[in-house]
Amino acid sequence: MGKKKCCLARNFLIIVSLIFILMFPNITMGAPDVVVANSADWKDVYSTLVYANLIGAQSYFLTSTPHGPILLYEINQYKQIQVITSADKPYVIGYDTIIRSKGYPDPEELVFDQANLELAKRLANITQFIIIDPSYGYNALAVAPYAVKEGYYVLFADDRNIGDIASFLSGKNVKNLMLYGRVDRGVRTALARYNPEIISSPNGSRFEDNIMIVDKYAEIGSIKQVILTNGEFIESSMLTGREPVLFIGKANVPDEIQNYIKSRDVQIGVLIGNELIGSATTIRRQLGISVFVKFARGSRIPGGTINPVEDLDRFPMPSYQLSMTIVSITYNKATGMLEVTYRNNVELATYFKSTITVRNADNETLAVVGDKDVIFIDGSETKTMTYAIDLSNQELEGNLTGEVFTIYGESKTSLEQAIRGFFKIETITVKDDTDIIILSLVYDKTRARFLVTIENIGNVDVYVDVELQDLWVNGEYVTVSADDIVKIGAGEKKTIPVKIKLEDEDLESEKNSEITVHAVFGERKHALIKSKIAKFALQFKKAEIWYYIVIAVILLLLLFIFLIARRRKRCPRCRTMNNRNARHCKKCGHEFGRREDYRTQN
C-alpha cells in the first residue's frame, strides 16, 4: 500500500512537471534565478536582459568594476546566479569567485565573445525573432517590451555578421521574423526567404517606428501606462515587458508623439531619469496625463540608520549628437527679406523648422515668419533661409531683435531638439540679380552619382548648391546634396555631381520615376538666398565613347601580353623565362633542345 501511494505521488509530480514545462516552454529545469551581465558592451548587456526575461529570471547588469560587489547586496543569498561575461570587455575578472565568496551556491559564469548570438542558441524553444541594426541602439529599446511579452528574441544583424545570423536561423524552425527600423540591404536580402514583417518608417523616423511597435504591443497588452525615455540608456524596467517604451525628445516632443498620446488614451507616463524633465513637463501640461519621475533608488551598501540614495543603474547606449546653431540674422533692405543663416555643426544630415518673431526696440511684435515645410541641411553645411517682411515704415538701425525657436532632428518627423534664443538683427542693403535654369538630370550608374546641369542666365557670377529631395533608397526616403557649392560664370553651364549609390531595386522603383531637384543660389557664396525646383523623369547617362576606347585598349593590351608570353620559353633547370629562339638559358647557361627538355615540356 505504501509503495502504491509512493508511485501515485511520483506520477503526480511528473504530470505536474510536464504541465509546467508545457505552460512555460522557455523555463527549463535548472534555469538560474538571477542573470547578471558583466560587460562594458551595451549589446551584451541588452542581450543578457532580454534572455533573462525570456527565461523568467531576474536580470541585473554591472556598470563599473566597483559595482560588482555592491550589486550582490541586492540579490537574495539563496538565489542561483548565472553570469554572462564578455571575453574582452568584462568589468570584473573572475566574478563567479567573488559571488561564491559571498556565500551564493555554485554561481555559473559563461564567457562569450558575442553574447547576442550565443544566448540565442541557448533559447532552444524560441522560434520568433526581431532583427535590428546595432548601429541604432534606440531601436533595441523600442522593441524590447514587445519582444519579451510576445516571446521574441532580438538579434543584431548588419552586413558584417549576416552570414552567421542567416546560418543560425536556417537551423531553427522560424515561426515569425520581424525587421525593425533601418537595416542593411544585404540583411533584407538574406532574410527575405522568411517573408519577414517589416516595421520601418518611409521617412526614417525612429518616432514613427516606435509608434508602430507600441501599436503592436497594444494588441497583446495595455498601453495606459508607458515608459518615457529618449533611448540613450538601458534601465532594467524598460526590458521587463510590463509596459511599452515611448520616446520623447530631449528638448521637444515631436508632434506625432503628442498626437499618439492623445489618440491612444495613454494615462500615465513613467519618466526614467530627470534629464528629460522639460519634455515630460510639456506632455503633462499640454496633454494632461500624469507623469512620474523615476530617478534614484535606496542605497544598497549597509551602513547607518539613514543611507543616502543612489542613482539608478543605467547603461549608456550609442547615440547621435546633432548640433545646429544660428550664425546670423540680417534684414536686407534691398530685397525686403529677413535672412537667417544656419550652421550644421556635425557631419550628420539634419532637418529643421523655424519660427522667428521680429520685434522693435519697444518690444512690439512687427512680424512672425517661419518655415511652412521642414528644411534639409546636410552635414557640416551652412544654409540661409529668407522670409519676406515689410519693414519700410520702421526705424531699423540697431532696433530689431529676432526671437528664434528652431526644432530639428534626424528626419522630417523626428524634430526632437530645439534652439531658443534672442538675436540682434543687422541691417544690410545688398542686391542679388542672379538667375539660373536647371537644364537636366541624369544618373551615372558606372560612377554612382546624379549629374545636374545648371545654366547661369543672369548677368553676374552665381554660386549654386544642389540637393535631390526624397530619393527612395533601401526602403526609405532620403535627401542628398552636392559635396560643394559651385561657381558658374555669367552665361555659362556647369554639371554638378551628387553622389549616391542606387541599386537596381531602387532604380526600378516607381517612387524614383520622377526626381526632384532643388537648387539654392545667389551672388554671395555663404548667403544663397534664392532657390528653384525642377522635376525630371529618371534617365541614365549613356557611356561616352572614351569609355569604350579605354575598355578596348585594355583588352588589346592583355592580348599582347598573352602573345608575348607564348613566344617565350621557360628553362627546365632554373625556371627562368627566355626568348623563344634562345639556345642557352640566359641565367644558368643550360642548353635547350636536349631530349630531357622535351620530356619536361611534355
Q: For residue range 170-201, list pLDDT tens digits in order.
A: 999 999 999 999 999 999 999 999 999 999 99
Q: Does residue 20 register a pLDDT over 60? A: no
Question: Which DSSP letter does residue 303 get?
Answer: -
24, three cell numbers? 512555460
Greater pLDDT, 590 or 498: 498
Backbone angles phi, psi at 27, to 5 degrees: -100, 110
Residue 131 host element (H or E): strand 128-132
Query: Contact, 345 vs 379, CB < 8 A?
Result: no
Q: Does residue 219 register a pLDDT over 80? A: yes
Residue whose grid cell is 529570471:
57
Exposure string over 285-310, b if 16+ CB within 10 A, otherwise e: eebebebeeeeeeeebeeeeeeeeee
Average pLDDT, the chain: 88
Q: What distance, in Å, lies between the first and last C-alpha atoms of the chain?
A: 93
For position 489, what pLDDT does the model report? 96
The amino acid at 358 = V
Q: What is the mean pLDDT of residues 139-162?
A: 97
349, three cell numbers? 544630415
Q: What is the mean pLDDT of residues 442-450?
A: 94
Q: Could you tell me the pLDDT band of residue 27, with boundaries at 50, 70 and 90?
A: very low
For position 21, what pLDDT does the model report? 43
For position 534, what pLDDT does the model report? 97
Query: Which one, of 239, 313, 314, lies nearest residue 54 by Cα?
Result: 239
For position 441, what pLDDT does the model report? 96
With a CB cutoff of 8 Å and minimum separation 6, the contacts of 402 are 329, 338, 340, 356, 357, 358, 359, 422, 423, 424, 425
- For residue 561, the tally of other CB atoms under 10 A from its CB is 10
**Interval 508-539: pLDDT, tens:** 999 999 999 999 999 999 899 999 999 999 99
Q: Does residue 26 register a pLDDT over 50? A: no
Q: Point out the least confidently predicted range of 278-282, 316-320, 363-367.
A: 278-282
With a CB cutoff of 8 Å and minimum separation 6, the contacts of 4 are none
For position 12, what pLDDT does the model report? 52
For the domain covering 436-537, report its CATH number: 2.60.40
Q: Does residue 596 register a pLDDT over 70? A: no
Backbone angles phi, psi at 470, to 5 degrees: 55, 50
Q: What is the 3-state secondary structure (H, E, C) of 439-472?
A: EEEEEECCCCEEEEEEEECCCCCEEEEEEEEEEE
Report the CATH architecture of 324-428.
Answer: Sandwich (2.60)
Integer Cα distance of 410 and 349 in angstroms: 7
User: What is the torsion angle, in degrees rounded to the nearest 10, for the CA atoms of residue 155, residue 158, residue 161 and residue 165?
Assistant: 40
Question: Are 324-428 and 436-537 in the same CATH fold?
Answer: yes
Q: Point out the least confidently predicted range of 8-12, 218-222, 471-475, 557-561.
A: 8-12
How many CA atoms are closer than 13 Å to the CA of 383, on its beta-carbon side?
Answer: 24
505, three cell numbers? 531595386
Q: What is the mean pLDDT of residues 277-299?
A: 82
274, three cell numbers? 530627470
Q: What is the mean pLDDT of residues 129-152?
A: 96
Question: What sign does the CA torsion over 118, 57, 83, 18 have?
Answer: negative
Q: Does residue 48 register a pLDDT over 60? A: yes
Residue whose grid cell is 509530480:
13
**Interval 383-406: pLDDT, tens:** 999 999 988 777 776 689 999 999
Predicted TM-score (pTM) of the model is 0.81
Q: Could you tell me the pLDDT band of residue 556, with boundaries at 50, 70 and 90?
A: confident
Q: Does residue 165 register a pLDDT over 80? A: yes
Greater pLDDT, 441 or 361: 441
Q: Does residue 482 register a pLDDT over 90? A: yes
Q: Could you tell me the pLDDT band of residue 598, with boundaries at 50, 70 and 90?
A: very low
**Interval 244-258: pLDDT, tens:** 999 998 888 888 999
Strand ranges (DSSP E) for 300-391? 309-311, 315-316, 324-332, 337-344, 350-359, 365-370, 375-377, 382-388
Q: What is the mean pLDDT of residues 461-477?
A: 95
The DSSP bridge partners found for residue 418 are: 407
For position 587, what pLDDT does the model report? 72
Per 3-state DSSP, the chain is made up of helix, strand and coil in percentages (nearest 5) of: 25, 35, 40
For position 287, what pLDDT does the model report? 85
Q: Point out the least confidently predicted range of 374-383, 525-534, 566-575.
A: 566-575
Integer Cα distance of 75 and 52 in angstroms: 15
Q: Could you tell me the pLDDT band of residue 16, with boundaries at 50, 70 and 90?
A: very low
Q: Could you tell me the pLDDT band of residue 10, with boundaries at 50, 70 and 90?
A: low
| Percent of residues, the chain, with pLDDT higher than 90 | 68
Q: Does residue 14 register a pLDDT over 90? A: no
| Percent of residues, the chain, with pLDDT higher than 70 | 89
306, three cell numbers? 539613514
For position 354, what pLDDT does the model report? 97
For position 280, what pLDDT does the model report? 81
Radius of gyration in angstroms for the set of CA atoms belonging to the chain, rounded to a whole number:
33
Query: Which one, of 264, 217, 260, 265, lies nearest residue 241 by Cα?
Result: 217
Domain positions in the chain? 324-428, 436-537, 545-601
For position 577, what pLDDT does the model report? 78
With a CB cutoff of 8 Å and minimum separation 6, the contacts of 562 are none
For position 392, what pLDDT does the model report? 77
For position 378, what pLDDT does the model report? 93
Query: Contact, 375 vs 351, CB < 8 A?
Result: yes
For position 185, what pLDDT does the model report? 94
Query: Contact, 500 vs 450, CB < 8 A?
Result: yes
Q: Does residue 19 register a pLDDT over 70? A: no
Q: What is the mean pLDDT of residues 594-599?
A: 48
